[in-house]
Structures are given as structure tokens and as C-alpha cells.
A and B are shown apart, each in its own frame.
Chain A
Amino acid sequence: MIVRILGEGQLKVDDAASDELNTLDAALERAVNEGDEQAFRPALVALLDRVRALGTPLAADSLEPSDSILPRAEADLDEVRSMLSDEGYIPG
């Protein structure tokens, strides 16, 4: 699958890593839903680090859409929340 980390680019990650990434993603979602600032940052960093470690960057001229898109590393809780709310945060 192809994962994009916003602000960094796309990576190709083996589908076998899905379970592991899903677990990390679930922790991030929990932190976002509960508005848990303290859990949010480590959860985001852990997920991004794992994707970076497992993934291989896609060529710059690749035009493939991503299967998953992740917030940028510096994003704060509000930014991620507004991203998920689809209220015009992501330009069309």
C-alpha cells in the first residue's frame, strides 16, 4: 500500500505491516477523539516513525494516489481534528 505523510511525500509500505500500523493508528485516533494532548504527540510520532522505517519512498514523478494519508509530524491536535472534520481544511 502507498502511504503519504503530509509534507514529506509518499512511501510504499508492505501490506504485511497493516496490522502493526493499524494498532498505532487506533492509538492515535483514540488520542484525537478524547482530546488527549499528552497521548496525541507520542502516538503520532510512533505511527510516522514506523511508516518511515517500513516504507520506501516513491519516485518523485510517480502519480499514484495514496491508500492512506497521515498528518505532518508537526501537526497539533486541533489541526488533525479539523482535518478529519472535512470542513475545508484540505484544499480541493
Chain B
Amino acid sequence: MSVMKRVSLIFKSKANKALDRMEDPRETLDYSYQRQLEMLTQVRRGVADVATSRKRLELQMNTLRQQQNKLDGQAKQALGAGREDLAREALGRKATLQGQISDLETQYHSLQADEEKLTVASQRLQAKVEAFRTQKETIKATYTAAEAQSRIGEAVSGISEEMGDVGMAVQRAQDKTAQMQARAGAIDELMASGALDDVTGTPRDDIQAELDSMRTGPDIELELQRLKGEIGAGNAQAIEGGTPAPDGAARPAAAEQPQAGEGA
């Protein structure tokens, strides 16, 4: 059992070093218990760190999804207005965001798995620390002979093996969250700079501006037509010099005649 044996021997030698450190084996119990409590705190902090990172990713994914929806709406609006080029641009940006979202999703699931594993490890360590505390008191109370020494050895190596295991898991999780924090920070910066979300981050992005101008375009034309009509009617009235006709329907027709005449 070479791989299996070698790894366990390394763990044992670490545990033995801890045991050899103290003159009185009972001190070893207290020292080990102290370290267990520290490790428990460290594991819980590790779980909290992973959870924080996971929540941050969740927020970022939500933001990116909202931007995607907005781009989708803009593409529809553009198509409705016959602007296929704009729709294409919006869909292109939507696809870029999809890449970012997929990346975040992968990281999210990996963090979720880490969080679950660490939570289980933390519960296991908690149970062992509790068991150790009980044993510690029993061993101390009955401590008379070398028999107690072996019980101390067993309890200490059993729990120091667990601490070694969970310690590595916490270390890995912390390294990973640190990396993810850096990446999440980079995405936040990108969003803030507008490189990722210039389409939606500002109240009026370029696609929206063009869509807006298309929408206001016809309105302006209509407005102009209406204004022209009013001005035309005013002129006609002035030329005729008369009071407004009692029959409203007759007036526009009357107003049109001089207008047509002016144009010809």
C-alpha cells in the first residue's frame, strides 16, 4: 500500500511531533485542544469566505443577465424598426455577455461544491473536537499510568489527522476564493469602465440612442406636418379676413385651397 501508507506515515510523523513537544502528555491534550479550537475558527471563516465569493458571483451573474435581457429587447426594437444592423450589433454584444456568464456559472458551481464540502468538514471537525474534549477530561481524571499515554497518543493523532485534512481543504478554498475575488474585481472594474456594459450601464447607450432617434424621427416629421398645417390654416384665415366658419368641416378644405395655390 505504498501511496496509501506513505501519506498516512507523513500524517503520523506530524502528529508525533506534536506529541513529543510536551513533557507532560496532559499538556499535549490541552495544547492540541487549543489548536483544534483555532482550526475550527479557521474552517468556519473559510466557509464564510467561500459563501461571500459565491454571493458576489451571483450578483454579477444577475447584473449580466439583466444586461442581456435589455440587449435582447433592443434587438427586437431595432428589428421592428427595420434596422437589422443595429439588431445584429445588440445580439453580438449579448453573445459576448453569454461567454462571461458561462464562465461565472462554472466558477459558481465550483464554489458551491467547495462550500458544501467545507461545511461538512467543519461539522465533522466540530464533532471530533467535542469528542476530544470529553476524552481529554476523562483521560486527565484517570491519568495514572502508561496506558493513559497511549490513549492520549491515539486521540491526538486521530484529531491531528483530521486537522491536517481540513487544514489543506481550507487552504485550497482560500487560495481559490482569493483568485476568484481578483477575477470578480476585474469584472467589476470592466463593468464600471463601461467596456462590458456600455450598452446598458449608461442611461443612453449608443444602440439605445440610435433607436431613440429613429423613434423621435417620425414624431418630428409628424410634428412638422401638424405645424405646417396650422400655419397654412392661419394664412388662409388672414387672407379671407372673415370670421371662422360655423361649419368646422368646411374650413380645412377652404384652408387647403390657398395653400395649394401658393405652392403652384
Which of B3, B5, B117, B135 has a CB less than 8 Å from the CB of A63?
B135
Q: Is B224 an interface residue (CB 8 A)?
A: no
Residues of B within 8 A of A59 (CB): 127
- C-alpha gap A64/B8 in the complex (Å): 13
Cβ contact within 8 Å between A63 and B1: no
Taking CB atoms, residues of chain B closer than 8 Å to A90 are 7, 10-11, 14, 164, 168
Residue of A nearest to B125 (CB): A60
A21 touches B3 (CB 8 A): no
Residue-wise interface mask of B (6-44) relative to A, using a CB-CB cutoff of 8 A (1 in contact, 0 not): 111011111101100000000000000000000000000
Number of contacts between A and B (CB, 8 Å)?
101
B154 lies within 8 A of chain A by Cβ: yes
Contact A25 B3 (CB under 8 A): yes
B 97-144 contacts with A by CB, 8 A: 117, 121, 123-124, 127-128, 130-132, 135
A60-B128, A63-B155 known; A91+B3 contact, CB < 8 A: no
**Whole-angstrom distance between the Cβ of A32 and the nearest chain B Cβ:** 7
* Contact A67–B154 (Cβ < 8 Å): no
Which of A18, A60, A66, A92 interacts with B8 by CB under 8 Å?
A66
Given known A4-B165, A6-B168, A29-B2, contact A64–B154 (CB-CB < 8 A):
yes
> In the bound complex, what is the Cα–Cα distance between A22 and B232 (angstroms)?
102
Q: Which residues of A contact B135 (CB under 8 A)?
A: 63
B128 touches A25 (CB 8 A): no
- Does B253 have its Cβ within 8 Å of any Cβ on chain A? no
Number of residues of chain B lying within 8 A (CB) of chain A: 39
Residues B4 and A83 in contact, CB atoms below 8 Å apart = no
Set B14, B18, B124, B130: member contacting A9, Cβ < 8 A: B124
* B7: chain A residues within 8 A (beta carbon): 6, 68-71, 83-84, 90
Complex alpha-carbon distance, A79 and B177, angstroms: 19
Bound complex: CA A60 to CA B127 (Å): 6
Q: Supply 13 A–B pairs (Cβ within 8 Å), ascending by A.
A: A4-B161, A4-B165, A18-B1, A25-B2, A32-B3, A63-B131, A65-B154, A65-B161, A69-B8, A83-B10, A84-B3, A91-B167, A91-B168
Other 12 A-B pairs with CB < 8 A, given A4-B161, A29-B2, A60-B124: A4-B165, A6-B169, A7-B165, A60-B128, A63-B155, A63-B158, A63-B159, A70-B7, A71-B3, A84-B7, A90-B11, A90-B14
